[in-house]
Amino acid sequence: MDKDVGQKMKSVNISIADMTKCSGADEMEEDEAQFWPVLEESSDGIFVVTVEANEVSSTLGANFRLEIANQAALAMLWCRTDKVKGLLLRECLPLSVAGQLWLHLNRCLQQGKPIDFELFWDIASETTGHSSALKENKINNRSLVGNTRIRGKMAPKMTGTGKIEKIVGILPKPKNGEVETEARLLARITQAIASCDHFEEAIGIALEGVCETSGWDYGEAWIPSRDGLHLQCVGAGYSSSERLDQFKTLSQEFIFAPDVGIPGRVWVSKRAEWYQDVYKVWDKDFLRVELAKNAGIKASLAVPIMAGDRVLAVLVFFMTEKRSQDRGMVDIVLTIAAQLGSAMQHKQVEEALRAAEQKYRSIFENAVEGIFQTTVEGRYLTVNPMLARIYGYDSPEELTESLTDIEHQLYFEPKRRFEFRRLLQANDAVWGFESEVYRKDGSTIWISENARAIRDESGNLVGYEGTVVDITKRKQAERELQKRDSLLQGVAEAMNHLLIDSDRGEAVKKALATLGMAAEVGRVYICIKTNNRISGQPTLVMEFDWTEVEPALQRSPNPLNLYAESKLLAPLLEGKPVAIITTERSYKERSLFGWDEAASILMVPIMVNNDFWGYVGFEEAREPRKWSKSEESILVAIAASIGGALQRYRQEEQIRHQAFHDLLTGLPNRKQLDFRLPVALELAQQGKQKLAVMFLDLDRFKIINDTLGHPVGDELLRQATERLQACLRENDTIVRWGGDEFILILERITHSEDAAQLAQRLLESLRPAFDIDGNQLYISGSIGISLYPDDGSDANTLIKNADIALYRVKEQGRNNYKLYKPGMDSEASELLALDNDLHGALERQEFLIHYQPQVNAETGQIIGMEALLRWQHPKLGIVPPKTFIPLAEENGIIVELGKWVLHSAVAQNKIWQDAGLPKTRAIVNLSTRQFHQPDLIEMVLEALSAAQMEPQWLELEINETTAMKDVEFTSATLDKLQEIGVSISIDDFGVGYASLSYLKKFSFQTIKIHQSFVQDLATNPKEAAIVTAMITLGQQLNLSVVAEGVETEEQRDLLRTLGCREMQGYLFGKPVAAKTATRLLARE
């Protein structure tokens, strides 16, 4: 039958497609109507339904309306009328037929492909109100008498967008003998189910009917619990013996989780399952094996009751003998289950419709939104009281009588009505349609409309209905906020460019472009104050310019003498913005400022430290513009930031280069190495290539440097660098590690011999004498080499192993190179022993705290005591912090040590305060790991509370590496510490990461200049320039600046001259024990 139906469906496919374009045979075109006589007289039933969405709830399935049906279909379906076009199934078919057909149509719609289906019913119960086609008995088929089963096929018809708009069905002429007992069963049970008021009652009827008719001895039903976590047995059921009654009683105590037992598995799979003998089912799949044995149960069938995609219940049937699967019986039970699901869905629909009718009546009258229905042409049919109030009318009746042409009487722009109709005709719905409209008194307001199209049964557009809200206040507020927010956002983006972009020119250009678009002007430019080369007078000259549209001829203001050429400049010099309508100014002023093509100008002064640097010009050529006070204030703020950025760029350009390059040799420094080596390793990993890291040390350099002096040593380093660079390939990198040490990165090497050959060339390049100041100087080199990936996969490991190999070269006489080998790690055992000794050292009280004073160099007053940790090892004596601190950081002991130091330093400082000694800050270093502890804030508060010390006397010190490890965490933590009153200082400023970028991100009060910048301050002008820049930067950002490592009076005096007042170093005092520090404070 499936094959025959498939061929028939294919043969009429074109005819049905054409047929569904019209509403009936009498409305078809001539070339389409030729197929209808064939279909009309066919003994096979053919019908077409239209799919429409359910307006009550999308979860209740679609509605289906008959579009057309031939006489055979009308008879087979027992249709009550010949005029079926546009009728819902339940309006023209018997209830049992309509319910089954709706179920199959919904399944076809959901699957989106052709399906087979069967219909069952009892003809005897449907004897009235049928169509003339049935009365005339055109089909003349005995199978339509009594209990009937009809099989058919249906297929969806899709639009070009893939949406299903119609479904075509075919019912082949029934064959003699297809009336079966199962069909009679289906009809009887279906009718009984339809009359039930409760789901459990319907289930009981279904269980009893199936069991009595088809030989099943027992039936039960399982429904999901309220929480949806398991299935439980309901009271409805059927059993034919006392043994089965006992099985029923015990089964009701069971519950089944999803995919557990036969009910749970069907619950999940949503498919029927048949078992010939449940004894052969695994215990985990059938949990009631023993109960089944006692009851004599053998075969089983389980089917789901579905409502859409949801399982309402699972029916399970048993019999006391084995039974092979009967596909027909499975189909019957499945259909009964489907009827149960369909019946419950229809009852939900009916209840929803009743509730909706009552709700919508109240909503219409009391809605806080306007509600309307209009004709397509633009006349109101129905409006509620709120819509009349919105439009200024006294009543809905007055509105409908007065507003007869919506397009021209209501809309401020009539074309909005056209757009409204276009959207509705295209989409059948429109949301948030905003328009300006007239009220009764002629004033205008803004409204927002939600509406949908109203169509008749034939799909013809007959009107619109929807809601209206008054959004006038919102639109006014939006207009005001939009201009301000746009300007603020532009200012923020401009600030971001100025702070982040390292290219000064690009940063300022981007900032001006952002400001121009945000301020909605055609041009923005910056005029900077400079001295005229000829007269020496201060003059304004344009330095940056942005225009919305690139002009054919670039124009700029003429150079202006600040004090002689225009009175307009006087307010600018005082830091006040000047707004100008150019038509109100003289021709001379317009020419001086280059205003010939501008309608209005706003000049905003750039002030740096209360000094006039220039101005930012905002120029609008289209029409005169009045600037609000708010806009002027915002732009004054950004002008100040631009000035600060211009000043900062000048300083940063020098500092930035120095931060990433060695001042003496011009080579990349460690900071660049921290970036380049990981990138090179990543490229080597991706390309599966080798990479070499060389650690090179210049032999005898220290002797020459100490003997002949730093100038000779510096020149020797420069010349040696040139020779080393000449040996390298284009993609190799050489970095000055420090002193006379260099690190080289050799990328894309094939063998270790490649690195060895280059090492040999490097050594040979150093052999010829260096002629410096008449001295013939000879040096050599020692090189340690490690290879990626053989000797390590990360930068630190490769550098460490290259250093170990270098150490072995030095041990064996220098002037050579060595490749790293694992056996060179003998030092590791010493570090391991030291690491073991660290554990428990705090409990053994081996740690000491020494205090080094931080002083005001002007007054000599001690302003802080920095707590420095020392380890008194019982065997090794004092272990340098640089040795044990990294170990403690790595093994985690640093957290416990840091907490002890914090508590001890705070307690000692409080003791000094209580003794009446001068109050100073307790300065405590935080390690990276300690700073990133989640309970840091609590630990600080605990230390302060324990000592009862005020937080302003505690200063916590972190280095740049710690700060940059997690920028977001650092920023949040520093903000919290600042909130509780603790001050923060950045240690080793200038040698860590991003020495400038965090200035705008982090809350801290002090920067400490690293001692490496202070050591050569007196002899190296470049070092002095760097220190000067750091001090100036700190002062301008209102930060305290502390110089570390001050050892000579000359260094102190130079620092004071440069503006640094706070210092620390051996000149003022070495780290000492608490008692000695007490005496120092007492002398104050």
Q: Are strands 611-620 and 877-879 parallel, antiparallel or unpaired?
A: unpaired
**Cβ atoms of residues 377 and 385 within 8 Å:** no
- Highest mean pLDDT: which range of 136-150, 515-529, 924-938: 924-938
810 Cβ partners below 8 Å, 6+ apart?
697, 782
166 Cβ partners below 8 Å, 6+ apart?
20, 48, 49, 50, 51, 67, 156, 157
Rounded distance between C-alpha atoms, residue 183 and residue 185, angstroms: 5
Position 32 scores a pLDDT of 42
Q: Is 448 exposed, middle or buried (0-12, 13-18, 19+ CB in 10 A)?
A: middle
Residue 574: pLDDT above 60?
yes
Mean pLDDT of the chain: 82
Lowest mean pLDDT: which of 259-273, 589-603, 737-751, 867-881? 589-603
Report residue 175's pLDDT band, with 50, 70 and 90 as the boundaries: low
Rounded distance between C-alpha atoms, residue 679 and residue 668, angstroms: 15
Here the tokens at position 710 are 């730093």
Rounded distance between C-alpha atoms, residue 184 and residue 124, angstroms: 11
Specify the higher pLDDT residue, 891 or 381: 381
What element of type H or E holds 300?
Answer: strand 300-307
Please tell me whether residue 464 adopts helix, strand or coil conformation: strand
Mean pLDDT score, 218-234: 91
Each residue's pLDDT tens digit, 241-266: 888 888 888 888 899 999 998 999 99
The CB-side HSE value for 681 (13 A sphere, CA atoms) comes to 21
Residue 507: pLDDT above 60?
yes
**Cβ atoms of residues 781 and 815 within 8 Å:** yes
Position 643 scores a pLDDT of 81
Residue 882: pLDDT above 60?
yes
Each residue's pLDDT tens digit, 670-679: 988 998 999 9
Percent of the chain with pLDDT over 90: 37
Specify the higher pLDDT residue, 499 or 698: 698
Residue 380: pLDDT above 50?
yes
Position 665 scores a pLDDT of 92
CATH class of the domain whose range is 833-1083: alpha beta
Percent of the chain with pLDDT over 70: 83
Residue 4: pLDDT above 60?
no
CATH class of the domain whose range is 184-351: alpha beta
Alpha helices in 139-271 (DSSP H): 181-194, 199-214, 242-251, 261-269
Position 181 scores a pLDDT of 55
Residue 337: pLDDT above 50?
yes
Lowest mean pLDDT: which of 436-450, 515-529, 861-875, 937-951? 515-529
**Cβ atoms of residues 373 and 387 within 8 Å:** no
- Highest mean pLDDT: which range of 147-151, 359-363, 604-608, 1053-1057: 1053-1057
Q: Are strands 780-788 and 817-819 parallel, antiparallel or unpaired?
A: parallel
Closest CA to 846 of 818, 874, 809, 820: 874
Position 137 scores a pLDDT of 39
- Spell out a b/e string for 830-852, using b for 16 or more CB atoms within 10 Å of the CB, else e: eeeebbebbeebbeeebbebbbb
Residue 537: pLDDT above 80?
no
Mean pLDDT score, 857-878: 93
What number of other Cβ atoms are within 10 A of residue 467's Cβ? 19
Position 17 scores a pLDDT of 43
Residue 124: pLDDT above 50?
no
Specify the higher pLDDT residue, 449 or 584: 449
Residue 1047: pLDDT above 90?
yes
The CATH code of domain 478-657 reads 3.30.450.40
Residue 39: pLDDT above 70?
yes
Lowest mean pLDDT: which of 312-316, 361-365, 851-855, 1076-1080? 361-365
- Which residue intervals of the chain bear CATH 3.20.20.450? 833-1083
Position 127 scores a pLDDT of 43
Position 18 scores a pLDDT of 45
Position 890 scores a pLDDT of 65
Bond prior to 789 in cis (omega within 30° of 0): yes
Report residue 38's pLDDT band, with 50, 70 and 90 as the boundaries: low
Residue 680: pLDDT above 80?
yes
- What region, left, alpha or beta, does residue 610 occupy, with left being phi > 0 and alpha being psi -120 to 50 degrees? left
Residue 2: pLDDT above 60?
no
Residue 560: pLDDT above 70?
no
Lowest mean pLDDT: which of 41-45, 445-449, 458-462, 872-876? 41-45
The CATH code of domain 664-824 reads 3.30.70.270
922 Cβ partners below 8 Å, 6+ apart?
864, 865, 867, 905, 906, 908, 909, 949, 953, 954, 955
Rounded distance between C-alpha atoms, residue 564 and residue 1003, angstroms: 45
Position 834 scores a pLDDT of 81
Report the chain's terminal Cα–Cα distance, integer Å. 112
Mean pLDDT score, 975-998: 78
- Which residue intervals of the chain bear CATH 3.30.450.40? 184-351, 478-657
Each residue's pLDDT tens digit, 86-123: 899 888 888 888 888 988 998 899 888 999 988 876 55
Greatest extent of the chain over all pairs of C-alpha atoms, in Å: 132
What is the C-alpha radius of gyration for the chain, rounded to an integer number of angstroms?
46
Position 133 scores a pLDDT of 46
**Cβ atoms of residues 71 and 133 within 8 Å:** yes
Q: Which architecture characterizes domain 367-456 according to CATH?
A: 2-Layer Sandwich (3.30)
Residue 757: pLDDT above 50?
yes
Report residue 719's pLDDT band, with 50, 70 and 90 as the boundaries: very high
- Which residue intervals of the chain bear CATH 3.30.450.20? 2-179, 367-456
- For residue 73, give Cα distances in angstroms to 16, 176, 457, 585: 14, 18, 22, 90
Report residue 1046's pLDDT band, with 50, 70 and 90 as the boundaries: very high
**Topology classification of domain 2-179:** Beta-Lactamase (3.30.450)
Position 567 scores a pLDDT of 67
What's CA 36's distance to the chain center, in Å? 59
Rounded distance between C-alpha atoms, residue 631 and residue 486, angstroms: 11
Closest CA to 374 of 441, 420, 426: 420
Each residue's pLDDT tens digit, 686-716: 999 999 999 999 987 877 887 788 899 999 9
Specify the higher pLDDT residue, 778 or 332: 778
Position 193 scores a pLDDT of 67
Phi, psi of 1018 (to 5 degrees): -80, -20
Rounded distance between C-alpha atoms, residue 584 and residue 587, angstroms: 9
